[in-house]
Amino acid sequence: MTRHLPALALLAALAALPFGIGQDPYLLNALITTGIVTIAAMSLNLLLGFTGQLSLGHIAFFGIGAYVSALTSLGFDVELVGGLRVVHEPWPPVAGFLLAVLATASCGYLVGRLSFRVRGAYFVIVTISFAEVVRLVALNWVELTQGPLALTGIPPFSLGLPGLGTTVLRTKLQNYYLVLVVGTVCYALIARLVASRFGRAMRGLKENESLALSVGIDATRTLTVAAVISAAMAGAAGSLYAHYLRIIDPDVFLFSTTVTMVIMVVGGGKGTLLGPIVGGLLFGLLPVALRPVMVPEAQWMVFGLVLIAIQFAMPRGIVPGLARLVARRRAPAAASRVIVEVRS
């Protein structure tokens, strides 16, 4: 349990935060969007941090999740090739969320299967291309997506509990807690995964692929499963985004958002559970702190400087850097504890 203590403390702090800031709508809005991008960063970390594969098109899964969820809850009426007409009546947003997760998981499977036979640079290129293709579809399939005119009037999430009726999550506070719950679930799933047999297979492949193969780890299968789970989580984040903002356009596929996610993961500490959260909160909320003092263009420069400073002081990111400081202070006690554990 002590292992999860920092995470639980962070969760408690985040749960109490809205009351600390007096439910200021501007700050709450910043926290919600930051939280959503942070969930996407956590999903990216599953690939980049734990398997070592860089997905530079990760925003595609996020955007597909957003569009699938939005279209499911808005309904659509499109004509496909050959005069085939597909009409979909609106479903509740929760169904959109589930379909978004399923659709992005399938996309993760396809991209993984296509590229993990070769891996490395090839995977980076496939993911970038995939994101660009999806963006062009969202931009040009106007009948379905409205193209640059954006999908508007997306309904907010509504939670129906049997016997208690339905609650529509209209307020920022409700959405804040929704994002916190989804983020916590994703965190718990990733934590379980990396501590398991599957997590060890991912680490083995990242650290020494030949050796991992020689103990019977199936590289393609392991990496594909990781891509599926990662994509599904990014899709869940995209769904949250669509139903919170209630308007999405093809700009959700912007390459720069992937870059922001990579910065969050690398700055916070890739391959650690808390890294993307710490990085996500830092780089997500930095614009809020900088807004009163500088224009957005200047903020990007500060982003870069902060990242350089982090890499200089803590080359492996904030979380591993801090963990190392703590370990050094406790070193003698910890060393003797390890020996006791081994002997017992």
Partner 1 sequence: MSDTPILSVEHVGVRFGGLVAIADLHFDVHAGEIVSLIGPNGAGKTTAFNVMTGFLKPSQGQVRFRGTSLQGLQPHEIVRLGLGRTFQRTSVFPDDTVFDNVMIGLHRQGRARVLDTLLGRDRAGEAHLRERARDLLDWVGLSARAGEKAGALAYGEQRLVGVALALATEPAMLLLDEPVSGMNASETQLFVRLIRSIRDRGVTLLLVEHDMPMVMEVSDRIVVLNHGRLIAEGPPAAIRADPAVIEAYLGTGSAGRTAATETADA
* Residues near partner 1 (CB under 8 A): 189, 192-193, 196-198, 200-201, 203-204, 207-208, 210-219, 225, 229, 338-339, 341-342
How many beta carbons lie within 10 A of that of residue 56, not counting itself? 22
3-state secondary structure the chain: CHHHHHHHHHHHHHHHHHHHCCCCHHHHHHHHHHHHHHHHHHHHHHHHCCCCCCCCCHHHHHHHHHHHHHHHHHCEEEECHHHCEEEECCCCHHHHHHHHHHHHHHHHHHHHHHHCCCCCHHHHHHHHHHHHHHHHHHHHCHHHHCHHHCEECCCCCEEEECCCEEEECCCHHHHHHHHHHHHHHHHHHHHHHHCCHHHHHHHHHHHCHHHHHHCCCCHHHHHHHHHHHHHHHHHHHHHHHHHHHCEECHHHHCHHHHHHHHHHHHHHCCCCCCHHHHHHHHHHHHHHHHCCCCCHHHHHHHHHHHHHHHHHHCCCCHHHHHHHHHHHHHHHHHHHHHHHHHHC
Closest CB 203 distance from partner 1, rounded Å: 6
Closest CB 43 distance from partner 1, rounded Å: 14
Residue 113 or residue 246: which is nearer to partner 1 going by CB? 113
Residue 31 or residue 236: which is nearer to partner 1 going by CB? 236
Closest CB 212 distance from partner 1, rounded Å: 7
Residue 80 or residue 211: which is nearer to partner 1 going by CB? 211
How many beta carbons lie within 10 A of that of residue 180, not counting itself? 18
Residue 84 or residue 340: which is nearer to partner 1 going by CB? 340
Closest CB 15 distance from partner 1, rounded Å: 23
Residue 138 or residue 225: which is nearer to partner 1 going by CB? 225
Closest CB 264 distance from partner 1, rounded Å: 22
Closest CB 309 distance from partner 1, rounded Å: 25
Residue 200 or residue 246: which is nearer to partner 1 going by CB? 200
Residue 203 or residue 246: which is nearer to partner 1 going by CB? 203
Closest CB 243 distance from partner 1, rounded Å: 24
